Amino acid sequence: MRGPDEFRHFHAELSGVRLHYVREGTGRPLFLLHGWPGFWWEWHRNIGALAAHHDVIVPDMRGFGDSEKPPLERIDLYHVNRALEDIVELMDRLGVGSACFAGHDYGGVLLHKLLRRHPERVAAAAILNPMVPGFDERYLGTDNLHESWYALFHTLDMAPALVGSSREACRIYLRHFLEHWSADPEAFDDAMVEVYVDTFMQPGNLRGGFNFYRAEPAWDAIDHTICQRRVLFLQALCDPCAPAQWSDLVTRWYTDFALEYVEAAGHFPMVERPDFVNRRLAAFFREQR
């Protein structure tokens, strides 16, 4: 395991937020976009391998990790559309005209939006365990509340105070998702879990992440349009958060795509099956020239 201190860290002063990112490698730029519960480090098993082919850039979204937390009471500042524009502005600051992208969870939502709002900035796109329009209705439906309860809990004022009431409370909460959403409950060992706890116990990080749930709805009219760009979707077969059977929703919004299933993986295929994910991403991006 490469610890967070074993990577090169940078910050960019954007117009509305100071964004943290990790950068490694040379070649064609590749952005890796994280989700919840996560931050840049959820890609720690992929950065080195992909840096052999790419200039890999892995940002923390606003409110997460070591990125700045805009006023936490301003829920509107945490809408995914704000995070999307942060990525575009970060590209501008780094002099990157277009790049390859891989997104997971909220990062996949950002990439769905980026393909429609700024298609010229996307040279190639891959989305892990896709969440697209229509996903919300299924996920938050009454038949699925045993899985989606946390999304409602995150909208409560008391949520960050309860989860952050002690380091042990935070550990119990995060470990539930890291274990329950993984095909192998031991995919995240104690040392890995502590990295997550260290990060989310930093001031503002719990509420910053929870604010994304409070700033819903995620989708706008432009998100309900058809994308004709070729996109790779990697769908894990054992993800209770984004079930494999819901990948049928992809066909509503994409006309040219590859949908591949990842065996023995849950919600975190880049952690659970890093070698497979690294090979498929590298090969797909190589093909999309």
pLDDT for 217 beyond 90: no
CATH code for the part of the protein at 4-287 = 3.40.50.1820
Asked whether the whole model's pTM tops 0.75, one would answer yes
Q: Which of 78, 196, 213, 254 is catalytic?
A: 213
Identify whether the C-beta of residue 262 lies closer than 8 Å to the C-beta of residue 288.
no
pLDDT for 216 beyond 90: no
Q: Which of 55, 105, 223, 239 is catalytic?
A: 105
Residue 286: C-alpha distances to residues 50, 57, 63, 95, 100 (Å) = 11, 17, 33, 21, 10
* Rounded Cα gap, residues 225 and 2, in angstroms: 40
pLDDT digit string, tens, across residues 105-153: 999 999 999 999 999 999 999 999 999 999 999 999 999 999 999 999 9
The alpha carbon of residue 39 and the mean position of all alpha carbons in its chain are separated, in whole angstroms, by 8
| pLDDT band for position 1 (cuts 50, 70, 90) | confident
**Residue 105 annotated in active site:** yes
**Residue 78 annotated in active site:** no
* Rounded Cα gap, residues 274 and 266, in angstroms: 12
Nearest Cα neighbor of 78 from 58, 64, 93, 92 is 64
Nearest Cα neighbor of 20 from 28, 8, 11 is 11
Q: Which of 44, 54, 79, 267 is catalytic?
A: 267
| pLDDT band for position 254 (cuts 50, 70, 90) | very high
The whole-number pLDDT of residue 106 equals 97
Nearest Cα neighbor of 276 from 261, 258, 287, 256 is 261
Q: Which long-range contacts (CB under 8 A, 24 or more apart) does 246-252 make?
A: 246/135, 246/138, 247/130, 249/130, 249/132, 249/133, 249/134, 249/135, 250/130, 250/132, 252/132, 252/133, 252/134
The whole-number pLDDT of residue 133 equals 97
Measure the N-to-C terminal CA separation of the chain; round to a whole number of Å: 32
pLDDT for 286 beyond 90: yes
Residues 6 or more apart whose CB falls under 8 angstroms from that of 220 comprise 81
Identify whether the C-beta of residue 178 lies closer than 8 Å to the C-beta of residue 188.
yes
Query: What is the spatial order of strands in the sheet that 231-236 belongs to?
Result: 9-13, 18-24, 54-59, 28-33, 99-104, 122-128, 231-236, 257-262
Residues 6 or more apart whose CB falls under 8 angstroms from that of 30 comprise 50, 53, 54, 55, 56, 57, 99, 100, 101, 102, 285
The whole-number pLDDT of residue 78 equals 98
What is residue 117's three-state secondary structure? Answer: helix
**Residue 146 annotated in active site:** no
Residue burial 201-213, b: 16+ Cβ < 10 Å; e: rest: beebbbbbbbbbb
